[in-house]
Chain A
């Protein structure tokens, strides 16, 4: 597509709205994975680079379940359960032993996990044909559309928005209206004080990793029908998710979602439209989206919703 073919942003309202709504949908996926990153960062100060690959791994398991004729909903639940167990397991066996190590060591450990899960997934599922197709949710297919007056939306994108909303509401309820959620937040804020309240800090951290892994897995299962499953499925997702998390402020769950959606929309618009004589196109779309991130961080270094990190010395 060159400049002559690229539509002008003000010429085509319907296409513009289509792209915005689709951007909300893909942005929700980035938001879900960003949420996973934020949940872990908030409670353990660890940036989990393996978040996307953990999601990839369990999504591949989901693919195998679908091949074995497991019903979608049942598969979804099984994958979530597996993701939770995997997150808890990783926290307990890999992260906890390096808990007090310097930040760089922990970063390297999660990069190691990235490689391990990626290679393991390719080892197990890479023998056959790649990429593998993954089913959309029962709500609607990736190629079917809902046609509204103002815009057209692929049914699977609609499903993504619904499910992402569901995940956010569930997490909101957990953190703000349950004793367990309050204890998890307390643990994230001050571990010593949490112990003095009688909170089992280790258990809360494990639970935080489990929840994060589950949010990531939802992202994996929702993106797979769009871009198929192979070793690189999560690469752009995790890149955008990091950008979304940082844009939102890195310690703010709503910020992660808003950041994800902002990046999803920007990416879609940039890849589709020309602004006057300027057309960036798909090749540089990611760069343009990330440029906005840089711009925001220059103006507001803590991100849109982030707190100033106060460290007492």
Chain B
């Protein structure tokens, strides 16, 4: 579904990606592991069009997207839950969700989707008129994911959904991520610091180091890998 080939990207003079190649099969969950600065977040940013690549190609459903704008890429079916969530903190929960459906013109379906998404995250229904900025961290993360689902994506890019949240809250969110993948058939590319969590959710993983893929394997095998265990799983 998503084919990334030899991707290079930089922030000004600082090279962040030095030839990343990854594949995400339709319907699957794939994770990118690695320490800070390895290039995980940058990879997602380039895929969603927030950052222009220097070179390399990205194909989504057979179409090249690496020269498309972020706006176009959303309407093609890729939704990005970015680092730091990037909610509209001054706007209400409901307005955030409506903005998630900005690219869609099917009003009636948007309405049913609002209800469906709030079914996954009942707390959002309760807080629908509240400002997004007034929600707790866990609620904000739920809103960020819910908002991303409102565009009816085929591929969801998730950047560190566990960041800054209590373990119990994280478990709930990962449950929902798996449910969304299973029941809605949304393909997921997951960036996560917590490798244990990530490898539990994903079937396949890539380990990134300084802008390069150093290991690519099935999650079960990665869990057994000596280097991965020492560096990322901590046992």
- Give chain A's interface residues, CB within 8 Å of chain B: 179, 182-183, 185-186, 189-190, 192-200, 307
Contact = CB atoms under 8 A, between A and B. Distances in A.
Contacts of B71: 195, 198-200
With a 10 A CB-CB cut-off, give which of A179, A194, A197 has the most chain B CB atoms.
A197
11 contacts: A179-B102, A182-B91, A186-B88, A189-B88, A190-B88, A195-B71, A197-B102, A197-B147, A198-B75, A198-B151, A199-B99
A199 B50 contact: no
Interface string B73-96: 011000110100011111100010
Given A196-B70, A197-B103, 20 more contacts: A182-B91, A182-B95, A183-B102, A186-B88, A189-B88, A189-B89, A189-B90, A190-B87, A190-B89, A192-B86, A193-B86, A193-B88, A195-B49, A195-B50, A197-B102, A198-B71, A198-B74, A199-B99, A200-B71, A307-B90
Contact of A182 (B89, B98, B151): B98
Contacts of A193: 82, 86-88
Contact of A189 (B91, B100, B151): B91
A196 B82 contact: yes
A179 B98 CA distance: 9
Contacts of B100: 197
Nearest to B74: A198
A192 B88 contact: no
B102 A199 contact: yes
A185 B86 contact: no
B48 interface: yes
B102 A198 contact: yes
Contacts of B95: 182, 185-186
Nearest to B144: A193
Contacts of B49: 195
A185 B102 CA distance: 13
A192 B82 CA distance: 9
A307 B79 CA distance: 31
B110 to A, nearest CB: 10
Contacts of B82: 192-193, 196
With a 10 A CB-CB cut-off, give which of A194, A195, A199, A200 has the most chain B CB atoms.
A195
A307 B90 CA distance: 10
A199 B71 CA distance: 6
B92 to A, nearest CB: 10
A274 to B, nearest CB: 45
Contacts of A186: 88, 91, 95, 99
A195 B74 CA distance: 9
Interface string B9-50: 000000000000000000000000000000000000000111
Contacts of B79: 196
Given A182-B95, A196-B74, A190 B86 contact: yes
Interface in B95-143: 95, 98-100, 102-103
Given A185-B91, A197-B74, A192 B50 contact: yes
A309 to B, nearest CB: 12
Interface in B209-227: none
A196 B50 contact: yes
B99 A195 contact: no
B99 A197 contact: yes
A197 to B, nearest CB: 5
